[in-house]
Amino acid sequence: MLKKIVIFGVGLIGGSFALALRKAGAVEQIVGVGRTAASLLRAKELGIIDVISTSLEESLKNADLVLLALPVAQTEATLAAIKPYLQKNTIVTDAGSIKGEVVLAARLALGDKVGQFVPGHPIAGLESTGPDAAIADLYVGKKVVLTPLSENSAEQVATVQQAWQQCGAVIHQLTPENHDAVFAAVSHLPHLLAYALVDDIANREHADLLFQYAASGFRDFTRIAGSSPEMWRDISLTNQDAILTELDAYIAQLTRLRSQLADGNGEAIHAMFSNAQRARHNWQRSIETAEVQPKQDGNE
């Protein structure tokens, strides 16, 4: 049972963490720290948080766990602001979609207190943002990847692990480098592609006509272009090298496909599409069907 948790950034991810712990009866008091008064008031109105923070010192007093669930570029400044009030028994974790730069930021900001920071990343989300998007069951059956530091004790890691398990999540561990390479390929690249495609269509002279006839294929491919531009700008810039590697590989693949099409090489095109179809079916069978899918509208 956590007596007090403090959430910096009470949006989709932080709000869902709060709702899940509350649903599990695993927390007594939840304090919210935010960027705008309006979104914190909304989070309180929705029953996500109990208290809106007015003083960091007061908020962090006797806190068991702090979660950073804000755009990753805010990590260093936020941890630096927390440090003076961080008590010995408080554990800090985060939900950021990249881990290498977050760990660097934590080392810079927390210095000798960095052992109290256990980096994490829930592999669950939606394109919707803010407290209204939060859902208690977002993490049920989903993975949370922890990338513990050598300075973390087993107990500190276990506290973060248990909190996510109370949310229904399954814990995995990776190094920050492996984490960032993996998610550059299967999360960050698809977001960049979706944004680039929709931006390209939106800038065409006859965009209205194109959007008028865009249907479910377009919707499925581009759902994630509805995600927060601030969040994805920060992810792109903080995982720049790994994403550039993936973009280059994808551009090479598109170039291959273009040549096959220009040559009218139906055999090669069919082979590529068949391989992709097989891989997609296998992935869906082995991973996706084992997980509970949150409803698209963000409601329970």
Ligand X SMILES: O=C(O)C(=O)C[C@]1(C(=O)O)C=C[C@@H](O)C=C1
Ligand Y SMILES: NC(=O)c1ccc[n+]([C@@H]2O[C@H](COP(=O)([O-])OP(=O)(O)OC[C@H]3O[C@@H](n4cnc5c(N)ncnc54)[C@H](O)[C@@H]3O)[C@@H](O)[C@H]2O)c1
Q: Which residues bind ligand Y (CB under 6 A)?
A: 8-14, 33-36, 39, 69-72, 74, 78, 95-97, 121-122, 125-126, 129-130, 133, 228, 231, 235
- Residue 159 touches which of ligand X, ligand Y, none (Cβ within 5-8 Å per kind): none
**Cβ at position 167, least distance to ligand X in Å:** 15
- Please report, for residues 49, 95, 156, the alpha-carbon distance to residue 137 in angstroms, rounded to integers and kept in the order given: 16, 16, 25
- The one-character DSSP state at 223 is G
- Residue 93 touches which of ligand X, ligand Y, none (Cβ within 5-8 Å per kind): none
Report the residue number, 39 or 227, with the smaller CB distance to ligand X. Answer: 227
Q: Which of 113, 67, 109, 107 is nearest to 89 (CA)?
A: 113
- Residue 2 touches which of ligand Y, ligand X, none (Cβ within 5-8 Å per kind): none
| H or E, element range at 295 | none
Evaluate whether 114 touches 82 at the Cβ level (below 8 Å): no
Report if residue 125 touches ligand X, rule: CB under 6 A. Answer: yes
**Cβ at position 157, least distance to ligand X in Å:** 20
Find residue 4's DSSP bridge partners: 29
Going across the sheet that includes 143-146, the strands are 120-122, 143-146, 170-173
| Paired sense of beta strands 143-146 and 170-173, if any | parallel
Answer for which of 66, 70, 126, 189 binds ligand X (CB under 6 A) is 126
- Residue 224 touches which of ligand X, ligand Y, none (Cβ within 5-8 Å per kind): ligand X
**Cβ at position 258, least distance to ligand Y in Å:** 31
Residues in Cβ contact with 157 at an 8 Å cutoff, skipping those fewer than 6 apart: 118, 146, 148
**List of residues contacting ligand X (CB under 6 A):** 97, 123, 125-127, 187, 224, 227
